[in-house]
Structure 1
Amino acid sequence: MSTSERIRIRVEGIVQGVGFRPFVHELACEHGIAGFVGNDSGGVFAEAEGDRARLRAFVADLERRAPVLAVVERINIEPAVPVGAAGFRIVASSTAPARSALISPDTATCADCVAEVTAPSGRRSGYAFTNCTACGPRFTIITDVPYDRRHTTMAGFGMCADCEREYGDPGDRRFHAQPVCCPACGPSLRLLGPDGAPLPGEPVETAALLLLRGRILAIKGLGGYHLAALADHEHAVRELRARKHREDKPFAVMAPGEAAARTLVRLDPAAARVLTGIRRPVLLAPRLPGAPVADAVAPGNRDLGVMLPYTPLHELLARRLARPFVLTSGNVSDEPIVYRDAPERLAAVADGFLTHDRPIHVRTDDSVVRVFRGRELPVRRSRGYVPAPLTAPRPFPRPVLACGAELKNTFCLAKGIRAFVSHHIGDLANHETLRSFTEGIAHFRRLFGIDPAVVAHDLHPEYLSTKYALDLDGVDTVGVQHHHAHIAACLADNGETGPVIGVAFDGLGFGTDATLWGGELLVADLAGFERAGHLEAVPMPGGAAAVREPWRMAASHLGSVYGDAVPDLDIVRRHRDRWPAVTAMARTGLNAPLTSSAGRLFDAVAAIVGVRDTVRYEGQAAIELEQLVAPDEQGAYPAELKNGAEPVIAGGDLVRGVVGDLLGGVAVERVAARFHNGLARAAVRAVVVLRERTGLGTVALSGGVFQNLVLLERVVSGLEAEGFRVLVHSRVPPNDGGVSFGQAVVAAARDRA
């Protein structure tokens, strides 16, 4: 007869809100194990009693058969004294002060719940808040840990007898699902008119009819309000643009299902997996000719941002419409997404409001990704991904807060081996966004029990994130150069520490020489860097005005190349009245800081070839230039490498090539391709020069310019052909949304020194 043994078990990782306790209960019953399981602020705890063989099999299955949403990072086991227990139970959660539990991201509605919601009959037929342990809201509704209903925005909805029965039944998929509800006890939908008064009829049905008539609706989703209009209704989409003050930036489109998405964009197997997976981001994919969407959805763009329904409400509306519809963040201009008080905040935009009474605790935008060589390339990491932690290459000696950049801001809190990069905050340009930033930091600190001792920030003294960091008391502050943070983020994204040759191509970052960097070649590890090369610097006439008006950068580059003998180009004629003043500004350096920015070089070329003289959103000119590239063009403009072992790429040579071809009548699509090819080849040659000096054979690519898949593919292919190992992003964006992660690991590396 075997002897009974007892063990204490602690499971760490994403194990709350994912059905882990019910899973443990079911597993224990299957293996004939006695004991209990519960949640606390550190994860899941359990005690298990049985014979040795059963216990071993039970522990092995804890990780091997974990629920689909669970991420088991660690299982710690220690012996305990047998007590002769019988049966296995789920016990009340502990509220011990030490907090290390992980919170699951919000997850798309599972197939079982979709089947319930869309069935012709049943208790949850047509119910927009259906969920179970495998799906539904998590991060956006949690107010505290451990993850129990009382610590969510569902606390005000008492369960009815039927939901209580499901919640308490170990054999039910809603066993201990915290947001469980039904029409009898849960949140409810309302459809309001533009004045906030209720509209008659079933809310989803009536909302669909309004959209079909060309109206614009605000729809309350998981992390805030979206604005919706039929994607193939040209007038409705143009009206949405006008009301939202979003003249050109592409809108995302929700397709009713994968088949409908395939009529809009080209999907390879990797892209299809991303589109249909549990995170349901907006996927940027090549637009198909004849895609049934209005021209105003994504003007001048070869790509289209497509997503599938990820809540029961979206599923019901999409099925009723049976056609794609625009679903874009519910905000005006540069403000963050609205998540409460929508009738007041969006009254000038929406013709109606499809809303509900389940509060949103954390506003969260949709995530946006591209696919590069079969892997995700994040553009915006938010809903569906946050707050899942990122594992750092090495532990953080002390807790860290990294405050991120000014644009596309995220923050990062880190301790142990984990880094919690926040949801997308946005551009820190107004009070509402800054409040979202500060409230988000406070929420993450409370959820994850992180009291930072080290605070990292950008070197730019005027960034609001920098000012926030420097105003904190009782912490050690660490300034991190912007492009070093980019390369460090790429290293940590790949689980590496360096050293590497880093290529950081982006818009602007404050350099250590007080100029504005952005086309950088660094020799870097996590702790430090050397600026080993860069794009040739040119004046930026008007400072920030040159970002909004790329023709100014064109004037600067043309003046640097041709002096007073600039050829008679269309761009010169278009700006004849202002050209002398702007070129004089560049020549004298008055209000014209020097910049080595790759982004500003793209702006200049885009303006020269006639793509765009002014922009309405960040990176617009460069994005539209990428869209023009002739894919079969192999030619490349040559660019000299100056300065020997510390190569300086002569961007003026690329500009000279562009001008020569334009004057020769070469098609703009060919010119755009030759510019991309020329810059890529120059970057590869510069890296080869640095390898000869340093002996390094690994290259890290980061910065917002590397969201450009044309340039990224050409640089990666060129480097690989030269025998380099190339690191690119897959967990955090290459743009400024990944800077906070880089700042955090740099601060930790210096803390270890």
Structure 2
Amino acid sequence: MNLHQPIPAEQSGAVEIRVRGRVQGVGFRPTVWRIARELGLNGEVLNDADGVLVRLGGSGAAIARLLERMEAERPPLGRIDHFETRPFGGDLPREFRIAESVGGTAHTQVTPDAAICEACAAEVVDPFARRYRYPFTNCTHCGPRFSIVTGIPYDRAQTTMAPFPMCPACDAEYTDPADRRFHAEPIACHTCGPTARLVRFDGRAVSFDQHSMLDDVDAVCSLLQKGEIVAIKGLGGYQIACDATNEDAVTRLRILKKRDAKPFALMARDIEIVGRYCALDDIARQVLHSPEAPIVILPASGTARLPDVVAPGMTTLGFMLPTTPLHLLILRRMDRPVVMTSGNLSDEPQVTTEAEASARLSAIAPYALVHDRDIANRIDDSVVRIMAGKARLVRRARGYAPAPIQLPPGFEAAPQILAHGGELKATFCLVKDGEAILSQHQGDLEDAATYDDYCKNLALYATLFDHAPEVLVADKHPEYLSTKLARARAGKDGLATIEVQHHHAHVGACLAENGYPLDGAPVLGIVLDGLGLGDDGTIWGGEFLLADYQGYERLATFKPVAMPGGAAAVREPWRNLYAHLMAEMGWAQFSLNFSELALYAALEARRGPTLDAMINNGVNAPLASSCGRLFDAVAAALGLAKDVQAYEGQAAAALEAAVDEDVLRGEDEALAYPLNGPNLRGSGLPYIEPLAMWNAILGDLILETPAPVMAARFHKGLAKAIAVMARKLSRRDSAEGARFTHVALSGGCFQNRVLFEQVVHRLEAEDFTVLPHAQVPANDGGLALGQAVIGAAQLIQKEMRTREGNTSCASEFQAAS
């Protein structure tokens, strides 16, 4: 990558180098200082609102060498996007120095929080180190960043460490460019930094045997070992912990937290403990040990087993390693995993203050480990899943946000834009300086506290990134709270708005993160999710779109089927099953051929004139081409889904978990459930028709075929139908040539590992270039990025048309003259 303009070796003199990227708060200035002194250069390096500025004098060869080494030797958390070099005519210091930071308009990056590094981890367990057992140890390579920052430039005075004056020892490290902690803004120690203490929410004194414990942090480990539930003030919010091997403790936590079935996140002291319970490959080990340190979803195929109540019905577990020295010290004596879930009631935002914790968590955990460093910005743990040989984000938060995403070629001139995202898994996205800044995951905006936090973060990001949008972008669904908020602000501030169709935004996000250029040829976007408002007023959710950033054409879809009860059908999978069977064969045919099934009796007990009237008359039963609802229906047919889903996607997750991998890989392709591709009446639009699949499923139920075999046949058959549809739509064999060569995969259904890998394999076998998600979630958490780039593309195109029009008018005027 050519990051800068070359400097002739024979040229000597003074130059100024602008360095853009993730270069503040990561130890970049001392790296430059060290290299410059080794090369005999004089000058200075400083932080400002644009990033890092280097002014230096010396030979052209030495300056060129410094540029090369800055990239090669950048600190672990640093990232250089590009250099800009120009002559400098001012005075320079005789020796190279680190100068004071300068404020101004923000054009730099805010660094995400980073997990404890190896050097700090070694210090906190070394009895001879100054920071032995200090739970807030950090350096320029690790520790809090976004969670404590309140302004730009990133200096201690603009973080929640401002109330803690440094002691002489910390100050000496902070001001020594050769030290690992030079300008580590959260630097602290036992003498001068934050302190942790164990409290009881009922206000009573904490009483336990002190002889076996070192301090309050270590006491948490003893409480967990005794089966207690403890609230812990973490990096970006409170967490709740208990011993994951203690079935009674985990069950109590489920009841008290009102989290019926959704899998709990786990934390283990080290990778060896994780390996007892899960299969680990090199990618998983690398991600677990990375500075981002997300929760990694892993196959639960180790030699040891956890109680089913940890992740009911799942064949995977979500593990992370200690992210802070606080967690490391808690787990030092814990030779088994702990549940480490967010500190909230189900679906609410994490609490961040001691007062909130006392009010909202005291009914869950009698004890809390608190501390006196404020959390400025709430941020949850990120979640990653390894699919098709690569780590792919399911939830983008701590460790990743708010790191910017470089926009593809063609977007350099994009104006400042704010995209508001969707309503579930809400995020928003800022566009500035050719980058997209995607916010952390925030949750469901229908929850009042989440909505308030979303609004707070909009204001925060505007301040941190000095962002003043020219245009607001939102989903076309008029009832989304994010869309209503965008419309209200547009009216108040006199801003233009662009509304983007839900599934087009999914494709846009996928294209953007894959660096697909603005002027690239249209791709086939396959978007499989639960629902999104379609252009025809129906609910879409299984779409094949010929799309680029500017627009799209709907080429094919899944069969539209009623959702009886509307939102109730999302919660109750049996409704989707009934609607699918009625759409395919009707009750009379179903009764005639399959009345001996237990499934028949179950549906007969639920059906009635009201339900049939809803479907037949289209009253509170919107048509939906939803792949997500198809998954719900199949899961219900196989007996894998309860009457009511305890959390979004539970039925689909159970269907994936049930898959027999041997059948998936080894069974004859002919036994995969068939789905056909006829055309819809009226529109002529090709669609995926599941009638043959339903006959095969019901036949297998009569034969008492095991559910894992049926789950494998469903996934394989669906993936096969998707690939066949893609080939059909490409028109490769036509005289005009192929419509597209690239296929973008997006939507929450592609978080299903089995479906995703099957589809990718089959598309690649057809010689398509597949563009999947990795940096941003395939679910609605990536929606705001897609909205932002589609909005930017429209504005850039409009500006180009205006310029062309002006040029044409000028030419006509000259000709007339």
Aligned-partner Cα distance in 2 for 1:606–1:638 = 17
Aligned-partner Cα distance in 1 for 2:82–2:205 = 50
Are residue 12 (structure 1) and residue 20 (structure 2) matched?
Answer: yes
Please give the per-residue CA displacement for 1:569-628, whole angstroms capped at 9, x wherever unaligned.
323423544312323322222210000000000001111111113201101000000100
- Give 1:34 shift: 1.4
Residues 5 and 82, structure 1, Cα contact 8 Å, conserved in 2: no
Q: Which residue does the alignment assign to 2:313?
A: 300
Aligned-partner Cα distance in 1 for 2:396–2:92 = 49
Aligned-partner Cα distance in 2 for 1:167–1:585 = 69
Please give the per-residue CA displacement for 1:698-735, whole angstroms capped at 9, x wherever unaligned.
11110000000111111111111112111111110000
Which of 558, 563, 575 is equivalent to 1:552?
Answer: 575
Residues 282 and 306, structure 1, Cα contact 8 Å, conserved in 2: yes
Instruction: Give runs of aligned pairs for residues 137-148 of structure 1, distance below 5 A.
Output: 137-148=144-155
Bigger mean CA deviation after superposition, 639-648 or 39-48:
639-648
Residues 336 and 433, structure 1, Cα contact 8 Å, conserved in 2: yes
Q: Which residue does the alignment assign to 1:309?
A: 322
Task: Report the AA paired with residue 47 of structure 1.
Answer: R
Please give the per-residue CA displacement for 1:8-48, whole angstroms capped at 9, x wherever unaligned.
12111000010111112222221122111111111111211
Please give the per-residue CA displacement for 1:179-236, whole angstroms capped at 9, x wherever unaligned.
1010100000011113145525521121111111111111111110111000100000
Aligned-partner Cα distance in 2 for 1:509–1:522 = 14
Q: Is the partner of 1:320 in helix, strand or coil?
A: coil
Instruction: Give runs of aligned pairs for residues 246-257 of structure 1, distance below 5 A.
Output: 246-257=259-270
Aligned-partner Cα distance in 2 for 1:280–1:373 = 20
Which of 672, 687, 694 is equivalent to 1:636?
Answer: 672
Number of equivalences: 751
- Give 1:654 shift: 2.0
Residues 49 and 85, structure 1, Cα contact 8 Å, conserved in 2: no
Are residue 126 (structure 1) and residue 133 (structure 2) matched?
Answer: yes
Q: Which residue does the alignment assign to 1:364?
A: 379
Instruction: Give runs of aligned pairs for residues 90-101 of structure 1, distance below 5 A.
Output: 90-96=98-104, 98-101=105-108
Which of 168, 172, 175 is equivalent to 1:165?
Answer: 172
Instruction: Give runs of aligned pairs for residues 257-656 of structure 1, distance below 5 A.
Output: 257-340=270-353, 341-393=356-408, 394-395=410-411, 397-472=414-489, 473-497=493-517, 498-565=521-588, 566=590, 567-568=594-595, 569-580=597-608, 581-612=610-641, 613-633=643-663, 634=667, 635-643=671-679, 646-656=685-695
Task: Report the AA paired with residue 126 of structure 1.
Answer: R
Task: Report the AA paired with residue 607 of structure 2.
Answer: W
Instruction: Give runs of aligned pairs for residues 683-694 of structure 1, distance below 5 A.
Output: 683-692=722-731
Q: Is the partner of 2:790 in helix, strand or coil?
A: helix
Task: Report the AA paired with residue 775 of structure 2.
Answer: R
Are residue 664 (structure 1) and residue 727 (structure 2) matched?
Answer: no
Aligned-partner Cα distance in 1 for 2:20–2:528 = 38
Task: Report the AA paired with residue 608 of structure 1.
Answer: A
Residues 701 and 727, structure 1, Cα contact 8 Å, conserved in 2: yes
- Give 1:407 shift: 0.6
Task: Report the AA paired with residue 525 of structure 2.
Answer: G
- Give 1:258 shift: 0.9
Q: Is the partner of 2:276 in helix, strand or coil?
A: coil
Residues 331 and 346, structure 1, Cα contact 8 Å, conserved in 2: yes
Aligned-partner Cα distance in 2 for 1:214–1:599 = 38
Residues 335 and 430, structure 1, Cα contact 8 Å, conserved in 2: yes
Aligned-partner Cα distance in 2 for 1:683–1:94 = 55
Which of 192, 217, 235 is equivalent to 2:248?
Answer: 235
Which of 7, 27, 33 is equivalent to 2:41?
Answer: 33
Q: Is the partner of 1:641 in helix, strand or coil?
A: coil
- Give 1:629 shift: 0.8
- Give 1:243 shift: 0.5
RMSD across aligned C-alpha pairs, in angstroms?
1.5
- Give 1:655 shift: 2.2
How high is the sequence identity, in percent, across the aligned residues? Answer: 47
Residues 552 and 582, structure 1, Cα contact 8 Å, conserved in 2: no
Residues 107 and 433, structure 2, Cα contact 8 Å, conserved in 1: no
**5+ residue gaps, structure 1:** none
Aligned-partner Cα distance in 1 for 2:62–2:638 = 72
| CA distance 1:10–1:324, shift in 2 (3 Å) | same
Aligned-partner Cα distance in 2 for 1:521–1:562 = 26
Aligned-partner Cα distance in 2 for 1:547–1:278 = 37
Aligned-partner Cα distance in 1 for 2:98–2:778 = 43
- Give 1:84 shift: 6.4
Q: TM-score, normalised by structure 2?
A: 0.90
- Give 1:372 shift: 1.6
Task: Report the AA paired with residue 324 of structure 1.
Answer: P
Task: Report the AA paired with residue 464 of structure 1.
Answer: L
- Give 1:68 shift: 1.3
Aligned-partner Cα distance in 2 for 1:198–1:466 = 49
Q: Is the partner of 2:331 in helix, strand or coil?
A: helix
Residues 406 and 434, structure 2, Cα contact 8 Å, conserved in 1: yes
Aligned-partner Cα distance in 2 for 1:597–1:121 = 61
| CA distance 1:198–1:222, shift in 2 (3 Å) | farther
Residues 654 and 679, structure 1, Cα contact 8 Å, conserved in 2: no
Q: Which residue does the alignment assign to 2:74?
A: 66
Q: Which residue does the alignment assign to 1:244?
A: 257
Aligned-partner Cα distance in 1 for 2:168–2:745 = 56
Aligned-partner Cα distance in 2 for 1:564–1:574 = 13
